[in-house]
Amino acid sequence: MNYKVTNSMKTREFTGRYGRTFVYTLNLENLKLENGDPEPIEISQKPETPAPKVGDEISGNIEQGKYGVRILKKDKTGGFGKNDPQTREEIIRQNSLTNAVNFCVGKANHMQAKDAVDYLTGKQIIQVATYFAKYSQGKVTVVMEPGEIAKEFGYQETEEPVNDGEMGEQEQIEPSDVPF
């Protein structure tokens, strides 16, 4: 079932068999006591998991805890922000930037010093990061003939490549068109 958080407060923390855990007391929309007051429930989660906040939506089941307090067991795919498209995009951008820096520095290490200084600019790194992000999001792919791939890695081609399904709309470019 899906719930919307109307109030959230960290009430305690403990260290158990799964490590350090934070416990939050929540009020959820449409979850009321018989007298109309909000029914408090508890949720336990790792410190790394974003704290629940007002307005968050969460998917899970409310169960009776062993100490009388009702608890929310989150669905494995749910949580606060884990499957949020904006969060996923931020993660892709951060990862792309980190890998672009590593790629550009690695490539610059194989150049003459003057060429490396000219190559290693913020603009170059951002361009590479943008390309990596598009690739990670499935917006662009690099198309090579199967024989070219095999030759590039020193293998002899033995079978046709397998297409495991569609990834949505993609821009397909030739390897020579990769901007770096």
- Within 13 Å and on the Cβ side, how many CA atoms surround 117? 2
Structure confidence at residue 83 (pLDDT): 59
> 163 versus 106: which is more confidently predicted?
106
pLDDT digit string, tens, across residues 12-41: 999 988 899 999 999 998 888 888 888 899
Q: Return the top range by mean pLDDT from 18-27, 64-73, 85-94.
A: 18-27
Residue 79 lies in a domain: no
Cβ contact 69:77 at 8 Å? no
Structure confidence at residue 114 (pLDDT): 92
- Residues 34, 111 within the same domain: no
Least confident segment among 17-21, 52-56, 143-147, 173-177:
143-147
Q: Per the structure, how many domains does the chain have? A: 2
- Residues 26, 95 within the same domain: no
Residue 116 lies in a domain: yes
- Residues 119, 142 within the same domain: yes
pTM: 0.43
E strands, the chain, where? Answer: 2-16, 19-28, 41-45, 57-64, 70-74, 140-142, 171-173
Structure confidence at residue 34 (pLDDT): 83
Domain limits for position 12: 2-74
